[in-house]
A and B are shown apart, each in its own frame.
Chain A
Amino acid sequence: MPAESEEHVGDGGVETQEQRDASSVATDGDHLVELYKKMVLIRAFEEACQRSFRQGKIGGYLHVYIGQEAVATGFLDAFKEGDRAITAYRDHPHVLLLGSDPKNVMAELYGRGDGIVKGKGGSMHLFDVERGFMGGYGIVGGHIPLGVGFAYAMRYQGTDHVTQLYLGDGSISNGAFHEAVNLAGLWGKDGMCPCLFIIENNQYGMGTSVERTTAMTDLARKFDAYGVENEKVDGMDLEAVLEVAHRAAERVRETGKPYAVEALTYRTVGHGAGDFFEKYRTKDEIKKWRERDPIGQLEHKLIERDLLDEDAIEEISNETKETIGEVTKFADESAEPPIEELYTDVYAGEDEYMGEK
C-alpha cells in the first residue's frame, strides 16, 4: 500500500526511480512472493497450452499471455469481492487469477464437459461469473461497451463495486472503443461509471504495430478526448503495476468516475498459437523484451531482498510443473460434453432450445 498517492493525470509521466523505490519497499514481501508464484503458474499454464495446441489437443484459436503476466497479476490484485472483470480473448490469466480452477480452464480449452463453460466456449470465452469474471470475447472491441454497462449498473444498483475493463492496443482504433469510452466519460460526470480501463498495450494488434494503426500513438491520451483521466505504467514491472492498480481502483471506487491506465507490455510469443512466422517483428526485438521479462525482473528483485533463494525458486518451479502436469492430465482424461449439451442454454427460462433435434 503506497503511503501517498501521487496523481499522474494526463501527462503520461512515469514515476521516478525514487518514487518507485519508496513504494516498493512498502509492499508486503510475502505478498510479492505469492504474486511471483501466481505469475510462474500462469506462465507454465500458458506454455502448456501452447504445447497442447501443437499436439492438436486444443482446437480453434489460442492466445496466450506470455510476457504480459505482470499486468493482469498486478491489476487483479486490486480486485475486491463484488467487482467485475472483462477482457477480450487473451483471457486465461484473468480467470485463473480470480481463483478459477486451472483444471477446469484447461478442460475448457480441450473442449471437455468439465470445462469452465461446459466446453461450449473454448479459449476465447472463459467465464466464471461467481468469481466476478464476465468473460472473454472474440470480436475486437466488442466487449468494451459491455464493461461500461457493468459499471453503470453497479452504481444504478447502489453498490461501490468497480469494473476492470481490459483491452488491447488493437481495439483502440475500433468504433466500439470510442463509443463506449465516450459513454463512460459522459456517465462518469454523474459518478455513474466506476470503470477502470486497463490497456494491455503489447504494441501489436496481431501483426500490425501501433505506429502502423494510428498517427497519435499515445494510447492513454486517447482517453482525453472523452473526458476520462489516464496515466501510463511500465507493464513489465509488477511493483509499478501494483502501485497504479490499487491507487486507480480506489479512486474509481470512490468517485464513480472512469479512469484509464495504459500498461506498456510485450508478448514474447506470437499473437495466436498459429502465428508461427511473425514477419512483423524481428527476433532481436523479441530478445530485447525477453530481457525485460516480468517474471525474471521480479525474481531478481526478490532474490536481492532475500525473499527468495535459488532453492525456493526451484521448489516453486517443480511444484508448478507438477500442478500443470495434473492439470493437463485432468483435461486429457475428461469426457467430451454429452450431445444433449448442444441444445441447452440457447435461451434462459423453460425453453432452453427452440428447434428440431
Chain B
Amino acid sequence: MPEVIMPKMGDAMEEGTLVKWLKSEGDEVSEGDPIAEIETDKVTLELEAENAGTLAQLIASEGQDIPVGDAIAFIAGEGEEVPERNGGSEAQAGGEAEEGGDDEDGGGAQAQTATEEREAAGAPSGNGAAGGNFRASPIVRRLARENNLDLSRIDGSGPAGRIVERDVRAAMERGDAQADGQADGQAAPAEAPAEAQPEQQAAQAGLQAPTLPEPTDAPGTQLVEPTRMQRVIAERMTEAKQHVPHFYATVEVKMDAAMALRKQLNEQLEPEGLKLSVNDFVMKAVAVALRNYPNLNALYTSRGVELHEKVDMAMAVALDAGLITPVIRDIGSKGLATISRESKDLAARARDGKLKPEEYQGGTITVSNMGMFGVESFTAIINPPQAAIVAVSSIAKRPDFDESGEVAPASFMKLTLSADHRIANGRDGALYMSEVKRVLENPVMLMV
C-alpha cells in the first residue's frame, strides 16, 4: 500500500490543504514519521507515514487543496514499483487507494422527498395593496367565480371592507352583482371575472380591438407587462375617448382673492392643525357653481341622463401603479375645513391602498389637479358615466392691470372643463366655467 492519501480527519471534512512537506522525495521514512503538515478548516497537524519505505513521489504541491481520499504521495516499500507520475491515483493490486470520497450526506434524498408545500395564497395577487384590490374571503372569491359575480358591485361588511360570505349571499339574492363583461362601474379598477380579456370586453362594447404591433425585442428595449390596474385604466380611458363626445372649455382665474382668503383662514385654523389647500377651494367652487348648471352633475345611463341633487366630488389621486379617484360625498354641504380634512385623509389612504370600495365608487363629477406639477394647462379625460371633469393647472404669476390701469403682478390659474356633449352643449360648458371663475375670484361666494 504505497499510496499516501489525504485523510478524513473530521466528520464533515471534504478537503484539506497540504501546507508543507516535511520530507523530500527519495527520503527513507519509518512508520510514524511525520511527512507533511496538513491544514483543515479547524486545525493544522502532522501527517504520519503509515508504513516504512522510500518516499518515492510527492504528488501534491505545497499550498494545494486536496480532496479527502486523493493521493498526495507514494511510499515505495522494498521492491515495490512506483507508478508513473500522472497527477491521479491508480488502483494498486489489492490496494485501497481510491478517488476522493463520496459525499455521504445523502442530500439527494431530501430533494426527492421534501414534502410538497402547497402555497397558501393569502394576499391578493397582482398589484399588491395599491388601491383597487378587493378584500374578499376565499369562499367569496370562489362563489364569485362559480356564479360569475362582479365583486366590484358588492359592498363588504367585514373588517377593512372585506367582502364576506353573507354579503355575497345577499347580493346573489338581490341579483345585482352579475358580471356583464363590460368594464362598468365607477373609477376604481374592478375585480374582473377571470375569463374576461381586454379584447373580449372591447368587442362586447362594440369597439374594434386595436391591432397592436409585436414587440421589436431590439437591444436597448425592455418589455413591461401592465399591471391589472393599468390594464383596467387603459380600457376605461380608451372607452371614454371612443364613446364620449368630449368638448373643452378653458378659463383663466385670477386667484389673488382666493389665495388671500386662504391665507387668512389658515392662520385661524392653524391651532387645529388644519391647512386648506388651493384644491379644496377649487373643489368647493366647482360644487357651488353646479347649483346653477345641474346638468353637469349627472350620469349618462342606459335610460337617459340621471341628474343628481348632491355633488359627490371625485378627486383624482395619482398612484405609482396608476390612478384612483376617492369621493367626497355631498361636498356642496360641507365647509372648507371638512373638505380639507376629508380630502387629505382620502388621499393618504388612497396612496396606502386602504380605501374601502364605497369610498372610491360613485362620484358625479371629477376634479383633477396637476397644479403641483407645473402644468400651464391640460385637458382631462372624462370618467364615464360622469358628465364632466375639471382639470386644474398651476398658478403662475403674471403682470396684470389694476383698476387704475397700472401694471401689477397677479396670480392666474387655468381651469379646463371636459364635458360630455351628449349631456351638455358648448354654451352650458362655457357658462358653467365662467361661473366657477366668478366664484373663485369672489371667494365669499364659497360661503353661500
Contacts and interface: CB of A to CB of B under 8 A. Distances in A.
A and B touch in the complex (CB under 8 A): yes
B68 interface: yes
B105 interface: yes
A58 B45 CA distance: 22
B390 to A, nearest CB: 61
B101 A60 contact: no
A339 B8 contact: no
Nearest to A111: B104
A61 B11 contact: yes
B68 A56 contact: yes
Interface in B53-76: 68-69
Interface string B173-193: 000000000000000000000
Contact of B109 (A58, A276, A342): A342
B5 interface: yes
Q: Which of B5, B9, B10 has the most CB atoms of chain A within a 10 A radius of its CB?
A: B9
B104 A59 contact: yes
Interface string A322-343: 0001001000000010010010
Interface string B6-32: 011111011000000000000000000
Interface residues of B, number: 26
Nearest to B104: A59
Contacts of B7: 54-55
A56 B69 contact: yes
Contacts of A59: 11, 104-105
A328 B11 contact: no
Contact of A277 (B8, B14, B43, B98): B43
A290 B115 CA distance: 52
Contacts of B8: 53-56, 273-274
A357 interface: yes
Given A342-B113, A357-B113, A55 B45 contact: no
Contacts of B101: 55-57
Contacts of B219: none
A342 B11 CA distance: 23
B11 A339 contact: no
Contacts of A355: 115
B301 interface: no
A343 B10 CA distance: 30
A356 B112 CA distance: 12
Interface in A110-149: 111
Given A274-B9, A276-B45, A56 B14 contact: yes
B68 A55 contact: yes
A74 B304 CA distance: 109
Interface residues of A, number: 23
A20 interface: no
Interface string B29-59: 0000000000000010100000000000000
A60 B12 CA distance: 8
A276 B69 contact: no
A325 B109 contact: no
A55 B94 contact: no
A54 to B, nearest CB: 4
B353 interface: no
Contacts of B43: 276-277
A174 to B, nearest CB: 23
Given A61-B11, A274-B11, A277-B43, A55 B104 contact: no
B45 A277 contact: yes
Q: Which of B104, B112, B113 has the most CB atoms of chain A within a 10 A radius of its CB?
A: B104
A51 interface: yes
B106 interface: yes
A57 B109 contact: no
Nearest to A57: B101
B303 to A, nearest CB: 58
A325 B96 CA distance: 9
Interface in B97-153: 98, 100-102, 104-106, 109, 112-113, 115-116
A119 to B, nearest CB: 9
A57 B11 CA distance: 11
B100 A51 contact: no
Interface string A261-274: 00000000000011
A339 B112 contact: yes
A182 B43 CA distance: 43
A298 B171 CA distance: 96
Contacts of A339: 109, 112-113
Nearest to B96: A51
A325 B1 CA distance: 13
A111 B45 contact: no
Nearest to A59: B104
Nearest to B32: A283
Interface string A58-71: 11110000000000
Interface string A258-297: 0000000000000001101100000000000000000000
Interface string A26-65: 0000000000000000000000000101111111110000
A355 B7 CA distance: 40
B4 to A, nearest CB: 11
A356 B114 CA distance: 9
A321 to B, nearest CB: 9
Contacts of A55: 5, 7-8, 68-69, 96, 98, 101
B9 A56 contact: no
B247 to A, nearest CB: 66
13 contacts: A51-B96, A55-B8, A56-B101, A57-B69, A57-B98, A57-B102, A59-B104, A59-B105, A111-B106, A276-B43, A325-B94, A339-B109, A357-B113
- Sorted nearest first, the 6 A-B pairs with minimum C-beta distance are A56-B101, A59-B104, A54-B7, A55-B69, A56-B68, A54-B8
Given A55-B69, A276-B45, 17 more contacts: A54-B8, A54-B69, A55-B101, A56-B8, A56-B101, A57-B98, A58-B104, A274-B8, A274-B9, A276-B10, A276-B43, A277-B43, A325-B94, A328-B96, A339-B112, A356-B115, A357-B113
